[in-house]
C-alpha cells in the first residue's frame, strides 16, 4: 500500500529532464471554488501562448536573479512570495483592474511549491521557478476570470489585454534578435578589410 502510494506521488511530480522546463500542470490551474467555463479555458490557452515566448522566459530569469538575494541559485518560499507579488502587480492586476486580489495568493504559492520543489528541500532552482511562476499566474488568472464570470462580465476585454501583452513581448523578442544579428555583423565586418579603403591590406609577414 505504502509502495503504491509512493509510486503515485513520484508519477505526479514534474521531472526536469535534459534541462527542459516541466509543463504547467492541470491541478493548480483549476483552483477550488472556480468553475472552469469555456471562457476561462480560452483565457488559459491565451496566457499560455504568452508564457511560451522567449522574452517571457527571459523576464522570469531576470526576476529570479533579482530576488535570489543571497546568490545561492535557489529561491525559498519567502523569496518566491516577493517575486510573485511583483509579477502579480505587473501582470495580473493589469488584466483585472476592478478585482481586488490579495498581494500574494498564499494557497497557490503553497500548492505550487509542493508541486515544483522536486527534491523537497524547500527551495526552487531557476527551471523550477519558471514552471512555478507560470503555474501560479495561470491559477491566479483563472481565479480572476472566475470572479468576472460570477459578476456576469464579459471576459473578452481580458483576452484582448493578454493578446496585446503577448504581441508586445513578440515585438520585444524580434527587436532583441535583430540587435543580436546586427552585433554579429559588426563583429564580422570589423575583422574584414574595408573595400573602400585606398590603403592596401596588410600582408602577413612569414617567419623565415
Q: What is the CATH number of the domain that holds 121?
A: 1.10.238.10
Contacts of 103 (CB under 8 A, 6+ apart): 85, 88, 89
**According to the model, what pLDDT value does residue 162 have?**
92
49-53 long-range contacts (CB < 8 A, ≥24 apart) are 49/166, 50/162, 50/165, 50/166, 50/169, 51/24, 51/134, 51/137, 51/138, 53/166, 53/169, 53/170, 53/173
Residues 171 and 165: their CA atoms lie apart, in Å, by 10
Structurally, the chain folds into a number of domains equal to: 1
**Burial grade of 76 (CB within 10 A; 0-12, 13-18, 19 or more):** middle
Domain-located, residue 23: no
Residue 196 within any structural domain of the chain:
no
What pLDDT score does 159 carry? 92
For residue 172, CA distances in Å to 79, 131, 169, 178 come to 27, 22, 5, 10
In a domain, 146, yes or no: yes
- Domain assignment present for residue 124? The answer is yes
Q: Is residue 203 domain-resident?
A: no
In a domain, 142, yes or no: yes
Range of the domain at 112: 28-183
pLDDT of residue 3: 42
Tens place of pLDDT for every residue, the chain, 208 residues?
444 443 333 333 333 333 444 554 443 344 444 566 777 888 988 998 898 888 899 999 999 999 888 888 999 888 888 899 988 888 888 888 888 777 888 888 888 888 888 788 889 999 989 988 888 888 888 888 888 888 888 899 999 999 999 999 888 878 878 888 888 887 766 556 666 656 665 565 655 5
Q: Is residue 156 part of a domain?
A: yes
Task: State residue 119's pLDDT score.
Answer: 80
Question: Which of 81, 26, 83, 77 is CA-nearest to residue 60?
Answer: 83
In a domain, 12, yes or no: no
pLDDT of residue 10: 37
Amino acid at each position: 500500500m505504502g509502495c503504491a502510494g509512493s509510486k503515485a506521488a513520484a508519477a505526479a511530480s514534474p521531472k526536469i529532464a535534459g534541462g527542459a522546463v516541466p509543463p504547467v500542470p492541470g491541478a493548480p490551474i483549476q483552483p477550488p471554488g472556480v468553475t472552469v467555463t469555456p471562457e476561462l479555458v480560452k483565457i488559459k490557452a491565451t496566457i499560455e501562448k504568452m508564457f511560451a515566448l522567449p522574452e517571457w522566459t527571459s523576464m522570469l530569469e531576470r526576476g529570479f536573479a533579482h530576488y535570489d538575494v543571497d546568490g545561492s541559485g535557489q529561491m525559498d518560499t519567502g523569496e518566491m512570495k516577493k517575486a510573485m507579488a511583483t509579477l502579480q502587480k505587473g501582470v495580473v492586476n493589469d488584466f483585472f483592474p476592478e478585482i481586488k486580489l490579495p498581494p500574494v495568493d498564499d494557497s497557490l504559492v503553497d500548492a505550487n511549491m509542493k508541486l515544483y520543489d522536486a527534491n523537497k528541500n524547500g527551495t526552487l532552482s531557476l527551471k523550477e521557478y519558471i514552471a512555478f511562476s507560470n503555474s501560479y499566474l495561470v491559477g491566479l488568472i483563472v481565479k480572476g476570470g472566475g470572479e468576472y464570470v460570477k459578476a456576469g462580465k464579459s471576459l473578452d476585454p481580458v483576452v484582448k489585454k493578454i493578446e496585446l501583452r503577448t504581441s508586445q513581448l513578440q515585438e520585444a523578442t524580434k527587436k532583441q534578435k535583430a540587435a543580436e544579428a546586427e552585433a554579429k555583423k559588426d563583429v564580422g565586418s570589423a575583422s574584414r578589410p574595408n573595400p573602400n579603403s585606398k590603403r592596401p591590406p596588410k600582408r602577413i609577414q612569414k617567419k623565415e
